[in-house]
Amino acid sequence: MQSSILSGVPSCTVRKLDSQQQLRPACLTASPLNRHSAQSGLSSVGRGHTQLPAACPASRAGGRVRQSLRTRAQVFDNPAPGQYDYIIVGGGTAGCVLANRLTADGTKNVLVLEAGLPNGDKIVKIPAGITRLFQSHLDWNLYSNKQDQLHARQVYSPRGKLLGGSSSTNATLYHRGTAQDYDNWGIENWGARDVLDWFIRCENNDNGAVTGIHGIGGTMHVENPRYHNELHDVFFEAAKQYGLKHNPDFNDWGTQQEGYGEFQVTQEKGERADMYRQYMKPAEGRSNLTVVTQAKTLKVEMEHQGGRPVARGVHFSTRNPANPAHQAELKPGGEVLMCAGAVHTPQLLQLSGIGGADHLRKFGIDVLSDLPGMGRNLQDHPAAINSFTMREEKEGISVTDHIYRKSGQIRVRALTNYALRRRGPLTTTACDHGAFMTTQSQAQPDLQIRFAPASALVPDGVETYAMFGRLKEEGKKWPSGFSFQLVAIRPQSRDGYVQLRTTDPWDAPDLSIGYFTDKRGEDIATLRNGVQIARKMAKMDAFRDYLKDEVWPGSHVQTDGELDEYLKGSVHSANALIGSCQMGSDVSKGAVVDSQLRVHGAKNLRVIDASVIPIIPGAQTGAATVMVAERAAAMIMGQTVPKPNEPARFPEPVAA
Ligand code: FAD
């Protein structure tokens, strides 16, 4: 068997590597040729060929390598030697889907480079563990630049940094949005009828299949929340008294999205069912999949062919800037698949010479493809808090009370209930009940209410979660209460962006979150209306025995002007970044990828993650990202999907 220096030794490939704890076959680690290859670049390919050492046990075993050897030299060895049919940049939500699908038939060699850690932390599995993941070592700790329209605040934007990406740090809510959301994209083959079938195919719904709505046997596990708090019933009753109808299934496109109810979750028997666990883990034993963690991609290697930039591979580095850069190389005709998420994908492409020409030139970067829309059109769901404390006689019933004692010790009951039955307060991310409402004249709901049976210590919902995660260390007391997180679920602001701050790939990009930049002020109006509606709900008879005081914004905040000031000072992320490499056909209108997710003007390069979604759906964005990745995998593999036997149910068109 012959192989070039970098094409390496396919049968000796280590299945899953943490680049700092690489399990390397002795034959590779010891080989001076391999050490040499680590220091050579893509340009060195073809410099020579070498024979796989006959003594390498993996070569005889035909794949699996179980030996381990840790030496300092490992850092200098290229953990991704060889050539790959597909290099997946980012082992997050979309990256995990692709890793599974593209290796399934065994014909393609796939490399995944993930900047974060492997997915081994127990806290990730426990839904309530989300509170410990914010601002942690499993998070990118991104902040926007100063937002003038938000009192010059820098808004925190959590993003998962581990295998599974943000699906491993998210709130697990399973929402697709509505049929109208996808028809509004206006992109051929991505309308509601095209995507619904994929949502259903991906799904393994605990409640069973429902024709045209839910599927079973797919990879993505969906179930109803398993934790019940009496405050959920109180909220439902208050919503009813307010005039809302019960919505038994927010993902049923045959009915309207309005109403109150339970939000389904991507969990499996009370454990987080992230995309690592569901898609990548089952594929880890495949000999044609190599996964390297703590491997940060620095740049896509492009070369000109017939006047067109063509992806050849990527440069990546392990753990920190002091470590040497390695290269991973594509086989002829192979593709680089960008799955680094809505912030890092546009940053990396800009560093690689693909982006707005003026912007790139400012940084002295050669322009390979002038795409003015790169990094633009970033959208997110802005959120606000309306929170209340509880009357003394009802104290102790919030989810926070169910998890912690007053002393700050975690309750044994919560632990055993979770350990033995996967039930109780540790199975919830505390926002899995709520409502959708239309508060203005839009054709679709503009407001999502996420009801939390817990009070908020600060008016920033994300920060309040993070504080709860640090409760033990900080010794804070958490008052009983309940909160409404108001989310502008179909925001109109489009001024968010991701641009370069420096040319150093280790630096965070210049991120502008762009909340409240829509000209008509609809987004802030949605949140203002949301606070007013939540206040009214809290005053409904249902809450009479529970409500004590309003904490946020506080009863002194009453006029529209006062409410707007509160919102500008506290609006935070509901964590749905999309749009920064938007799909579309017209580059002059900001399109970055075509409807096959190929980067305009480039070859062998696609973007497959949340950044291609052109308009934010009225839903949390994890399900849509999985749907995009599943469809992309089928496109890449040239598969077609038969149409469903029975027609999907769609709502009557709503007059705009
Ligand atoms: P990600 O899943 O973020 O994956 C990107 C991956 O790329 C990460 O693993 C990252 O470490 C890696 N990466 C980045 N840069 C590099 C680099 N240079 N080199 C190598 N690797 C790199 N959605 C829902 O549906 N329901 C929810 O309840 C929900 N709640 C959320 C709560 C939070 C706190 C967050 C952060 C998100 C939430 N979302 C939710 C949104 C949803 O999780 C995301 O839309 C989805 O995960 C995005 O998938 P992605 O593949 O685009 O990016």
Neighbour-count burial of 587, counting CB atoms closer than 10 A to its CB (0-12 exposed, 13-18 middle, 19+ buried): middle
Percentage of the chain lying above the pLDDT 70 cut: 86
Taking the CA of residue 157 as reference, the ligand 1 atom at the shortest distance is 36
Cα atoms in the 13 Å half-sphere on the side-chain side of 650: 18
Model pTM above 0.75: yes
Quick one: pLDDT band at residue 474, thresholds 50, 70, 90? Answer: confident
CA-CA distance, 291 to 443, in Å (whole number)? Answer: 45
- Does pLDDT of 147 surpass 80? yes
Pair 444, 438: CB distance under 8 Å: yes
CB 348 within 8 A of CB 605: no
Is pLDDT at 52 greater than 70 in this prediction?
no
CA dihedral 546, 547, 548, 553 (to 10 degrees): 150
Residue whose CA is at the smallest distance from ligand 1 atom 26: 173
φ/ψ of residue 411, rounded to 5: -75, 135
In this predicted structure, the answer to whether residue 43 has a pLDDT above a threshold of 70 is no
Give the integer Cα–Cα distance in Å for 26 and 48.
Answer: 21
Mean per-residue pLDDT, 425-439: 98
- Given a cut of 80, whether residue 587 has pLDDT beyond it is yes
265 alpha carbon to ligand 1 midpoint, in Å?
A: 16
576 CA distance to ligand 1 middle (Å): 9
Q: Indicate whether 380 pLDDT > 60.
A: yes
CB of 262 closer than 6 angstroms to any ligand 1 atom: no
Q: Separation of 545 CA from ligand 1 center, angstroms? A: 40
Which ligand 1 atom minimizes the distance to the CA of 161?
A: 11
Amino acid 345: pLDDT: 99
Q: pLDDT digit string (tens) for 485-508? A: 999 999 999 999 999 999 999 999
Residue 309: CB within 6 Å of ligand 1? no
The residue-averaged pLDDT of 549-575 equals 98
**Opening angle at CA 58, ends 53 and 63, nearest 5:** 130
Report the pLDDT value the prediction gives residue 42, as an integer from 0 to 100: 27
- pLDDT at residue 432 greater than cutoff 70: yes
Task: Determine whether the shortest distance from the Cβ of 623 to ligand 1 is under 6 A.
Answer: yes
Ligand 1 in contact with 170 (CB < 6 A)?
yes
621 C-alpha to ligand 1 centroid (Å)? 9
Percent residues over pLDDT 90 in the chain:
80
For atom 4 of ligand 1, which residue has the closest CA?
A: 92
Mean pLDDT taken over the chain: 88
Distance 93 CA to ligand 1 centre (A): 6
**CA 211 – CA 208 distance, rounded (Å):** 10
3-state class (DSSP) for residue 609: coil
Q: What confidence score (pLDDT) does residue 16 get?
A: 54
Rounded CA-CA distance 267/273 in Å is 4
The two three-digit tokens of residue 301, written as one number: 């290697």
Closest atom of ligand 1 to 91 CA is 9
| Of the candidate ranges 72-86, 275-289, 342-356, 390-404, the one whose mean pLDDT is the lowest | 72-86
Q: Is the CB of 573 under 6 A from ligand 1?
A: no
β 308-318/325-338 pair status: antiparallel
pLDDT grade, residue 407 (50/70/90)? confident
What is the structure's pLDDT at 441? 87
CA 135 from centre of chain: 15
Ligand 1 pocket check for 89: Cβ under 6 Å: yes
Distance 625 CA to ligand 1 centre (A): 9
- Ligand 1 centre to CA of 167 (Å) is 6
What DSSP state is assigned to residue 151? T
Is there an atom of ligand 1 within 6 Å of 620 CB?
Answer: yes
Is the CB of 251 within 6 Å of ligand 1? no
Q: Indicate whether residue 167 lines ligand 1 (CB < 6 A).
A: yes
> Which residues does 186 contact at the CB level (< 8 Å), separation at least 6?
none
Decide whether any atom of ligand 1 lies within 6 Å of the 166 Cβ: yes
pLDDT tens-digit profile of 155-198? 999 999 999 999 999 999 999 999 999 999 999 999 999 999 99
Region 369-375: mean pLDDT is 98
Taking alpha carbons only, the member of 496, 512, 489 closest to residue 582 is: 496
More confident residue, 458 or 28: 458
Average pLDDT over residues 206-213: 94
Across 194-225, b (16+ Cβ under 10 Å) vs e yields: bbbbbbbbbbbbbeeebebbbbeebbbbbbeb
pLDDT above 70 (res 278) = yes
pLDDT value for 471: 84
Using the predicted structure, report yes or no on whether residue 533 has a pLDDT greater than 90. Answer: yes
Residue 159 CA to ligand 1 centre (angstroms): 5
Q: Whose CA is nearest to atom 31 of ligand 1?
A: 170
Q: What residues contact residue 499 under an 8 Å CB cut-off, 6+ apart?
A: 350, 359, 375, 509, 510, 512
Residue 593 per-residue DSSP state: B
User: Which residue owns the Cα nearest ligand 1 atom 23?
Assistant: 622
- Predicted confidence at residue 567, as pLDDT, reads 98
167, 326, 337: residue to mutate for ligand 1 pocket, most atoms within 8 A of CB: 167
Which residue in the block uniquely carries the two structure tokens 């943490």? 18
Transcribe 460-520 into DSSP letters: -HHHHHHHHHTHHHHT-----EEEEEEEESS-----BEEE-S-S-TTSPPEEE--TT--TT
338 CB under 6 A from ligand 1?
no
CA torsion through residues 325, 158, 283, 348, sign: negative
Which mutation among 166, 291, 297, 468 tests ligand 1's pocket best, with the greatest number of atoms within 8 A of CB? Answer: 166
Check pocket membership of 222 for ligand 1, CB cut-off 6 A: no
Residue 568 has pLDDT above 90, yes or no: yes
Q: Are 73 and 30 in contact (CB under 8 A)?
A: no
Atom of ligand 1 nearest to the CA of 165: 9
Query: Which DSSP helix (H) or strand (E) runs through 437?
Result: strand 433-437
Name the residue with the closest Cα to ligand 1, atom 34.
170
Q: Which helix (H) or strand (E) holds 452?
A: strand 447-452
Read off the DSSP letter of residue 356: -
